[in-house]
Amino acid sequence: MTDTPESRSPVRGIRLGLALPQYGALADPAAVARFATAAEDLGFGSLWVGDRILTPREPSDLYPGGGTPEHPYPKEFETFADPFTTLATAAAVTRTARLGMSALTGPVYSPVLLARALTSLDLASGGRLDVGLGLGWLREEYFATGVPWEGRGKRLEDVLDALEALWTGDPVAHEGPQWRIAPSTVGLRTAQHPRPPVLLGGFSPPALARIGRRADGWLAGWMPRQYLAGLWSVALEAAEKAGRDPGALRRVLRINPRAGTGVETVTDVPACLDVAREEGIAEVLVDLHYVAKDVDHALELAAELIA
């Protein structure tokens, strides 16, 4: 059978994914293996991690998902496990589920070190990695990692160029505005050829244009469907202008059940899946961190969701 999102899906035309326990009350690295195994056994077709580097007491930026001056970001963000360790643990105990990031803050990473980690993950999982990158939203994370906030979009472009060179070049060489990689031999190659799929996040026209020009798909968030469709049209148009096949682009829709968002509990998710189907979206990621009390409760909710 051809390996497609639909062929791995337990939910009528949609591959349903689940966020691994990584932050807030679910931040328990020792429970990741048990959770990943149970999620795959339940029928989830993909498992995901996020990226949060620090939570300043007085941040310069409010969380775009509903931050206020009194609560600039969800309290759950204050406890956040490493995404690479979490995904590597899941890779070791699963066999079929895709493994992805939604999303790493791409510009704060050295592409040489990032490529080494991602290549190792793809090999460890037998070629099941989806690389997810974005710009993030919190400038203090940039400052803390020694990376300038200004020019972050161009820096992400340079990360993508360097990753492409590291994954496909022989010998590897890259000369960009941020990094210079001298001609080098890199013997470690990904299981997926020529490289793992690269998905990009973002909710602005420039971000969607970048996706259309050079990514394999969009890491979308739940939003009114007119915005979903409108932003997606930007990516499709950019792909066509770049001489790429718009129909080959993927969309992974992230849904975070959370009080006050209109998607309060897992019982509200099926209606979202109906919208996804109508919009032609074949992959959905559900994040239970805001509604689960602990890892066991998250697994109970996951079983309820898949049913």
pLDDT in tens, the chain (307 residues): 344 444 444 567 899 999 999 999 999 999 999 999 999 999 999 999 999 999 999 999 999 999 999 999 999 999 999 999 999 999 999 999 999 999 999 999 999 999 999 999 999 999 999 999 999 999 999 999 999 999 999 999 999 999 999 999 999 999 999 999 999 999 999 999 999 999 999 999 999 999 999 999 999 999 999 999 999 999 999 999 999 999 999 999 999 999 988 899 999 999 999 999 999 999 999 999 999 999 999 999 999 999 8
* Cα 74 to Cα 28, 57, 82, 184, 245, distances in angstroms: 18, 12, 18, 43, 38
CB atoms within 10 A of CB 279: 15
Residue 12's pLDDT is 74
The C-alpha atoms of residue 184 and residue 173 are separated, in whole angstroms, by 6
The C-alpha atoms of residue 148 and residue 301 are separated, in whole angstroms, by 40
> DSSP assignment of 156-192, as one string?
HHHHHHHHHHHHH-SSEEEE-SS-EEEEE------SS
Which runs of E-coded beta strand occur in the chain? 15-19, 46-49, 98-101, 104-105, 129-134, 172-175, 180-184, 198-201, 217-221, 250-255, 283-286
Is there a contact between 28 and 306 (Cβ–Cβ < 8 Å)? no
CA neighbor of 155 nearest in space, from 133, 125, 173, 171: 133
Residue 9's pLDDT is 45
What residue type is 78 in one-letter code? E
How many residues does the structure list for the chain? 307
Residue 20's pLDDT is 98
Residue 14's pLDDT is 94
What residue type is 27 in one-letter code? A
Is the pTM for the entire model greater than 0.85? Answer: yes
Give φ, ψ of 133 to 5 degrees.
-130, 150
SS3 218: strand
Residue 31's pLDDT is 98
The C-alpha atoms of residue 137 and residue 51 are separated, in whole angstroms, by 11
Residue 10's pLDDT is 52
